[in-house]
Structures are given as C-alpha cells and as structure tokens.
Structure 1
Amino acid sequence: MSKSFTANEVKEHGSAEKGLYIIIDNGVYELAGFVDEHPGGAKILKRVGGKDASKQFWKYHNESVMKKYQSRLKIGELKEEAKL
C-alpha cells in the first residue's frame, strides 16, 4: 500500500538534504537521489522541492517520462484533504 503524505510533510522535505519531495498529480516523489541524473539539471528540481510541480513537469515532459521513472521515484500519494 502506498504511503499518504500531507502537504506539510512534503514541504518539510524541500531540499536534497531533507529528501527533496515533490508532488506531481497528487503523487509524491522523492528526488534527492535523482538530482544529479536529471537531464534538465539539479537547479530546477531544487526550485520545486517541497511543492506541487505538476504544471512545471507536464510543461516539459510527456507520459513516457512518467512511466520510465514513476516506479523508481514515487513514494506515495498526497492525502485528499491536504492538497495545496
């Protein structure tokens, strides 16, 4: 079963040192170990750490990118009542 996170829990992990969590379409992703691999560079991931990055993600990526990395990086879901 997937873990549920509040928006505040995601916000607390807003840097690589703290885990670098982001939200994409209510999914919570842990990116601290992916920062150096990100083709667009670490800077953009650090900028959206702890936040809902859905709009930015879909602006530059398509469904195939999500499918490629989702199983590796997704750690849970945003609790319904906790949406930003």
Structure 2
Amino acid sequence: MSKTFTKADVAKHTDESEGLYIIVDTGVYDITGFLDEHPGGAKILKRMAGKDATKQFWKYHGKNVLDKYGDKLKVGTLAETAKL
C-alpha cells in the first residue's frame, strides 16, 4: 500500500537523517540513496529536497528516467488538496 503525503509532510524531509524527499507530479520520491548515482550531482538533489521538483525534473529529464528509477524511489503519492 502506498503512503499519502501532504506538501507539509514532504517539506520535513530535507536532510539525509530524515530522508530527502521530492515531489514529481503526484509522486513522492525518496532520493536519499540516489545522491551518488545522480549524473547532475548530489548538490542539486539536496537543494530540491522537501520541495515540488516537477518543473525542474521535466525540464532536464524525459519520461524514460522516471520509468527507470521511479518505482525504486517512490515512497507514496501527494494528497489531493482543494484548489480554491
């Protein structure tokens, strides 16, 4: 079963001891174990931790990247919020 996160929940995950989480579209991903593998370096991942990285992700990556790594890194989904 997939866990549901709010943006506030994700915002708490900004260091390696708590896990580095990012949001891409409606998925929540733990990128802590991916820091050393990221071709762009760990610095950019750490900078995006706790945030919605959707815009930045799609600017530099294609769907194939999410297809390749998404299942391994995904820890849940973003809770739906009312848009007023």
3-state DSSP of counterpart to 1:40: coil
Question: Which amino acid in 2 is paired with 1:2?
Answer: S
Name the TM-score, length of structure 1 as normaliser: 0.93
Q: CA RMSD in A?
A: 1.5
3-state DSSP of counterpart to 2:29: strand
Structure 2 residue runs of 5 or longer lacking an equivalent are: none
Closer, same or farther: CA 78–12 of 1 in aligned 2, 3 Å:
same
3-state DSSP of counterpart to 1:38: coil
Which structure is larger by alpha-carbon Rg, 1 or 2? 2
User: In the alignment, what sits opposite 1:17?
Assistant: 17
Richer in strand (by share)? 2
Deviates more, 1:9-18 or 1:74-83: 74-83
Structure 1 residue runs of 5 or longer lacking an equivalent are: none
Name the TM-score, length of structure 2 as normaliser: 0.93
Deviation per CA, 1:48-77: give whole Å up to 9, x if none: 000000000000000000100011000100
What count of residue pairs does the alignment treat as equivalent? Answer: 83
Runs of at least 4 residues of structure 1 off by over 2 A?
none
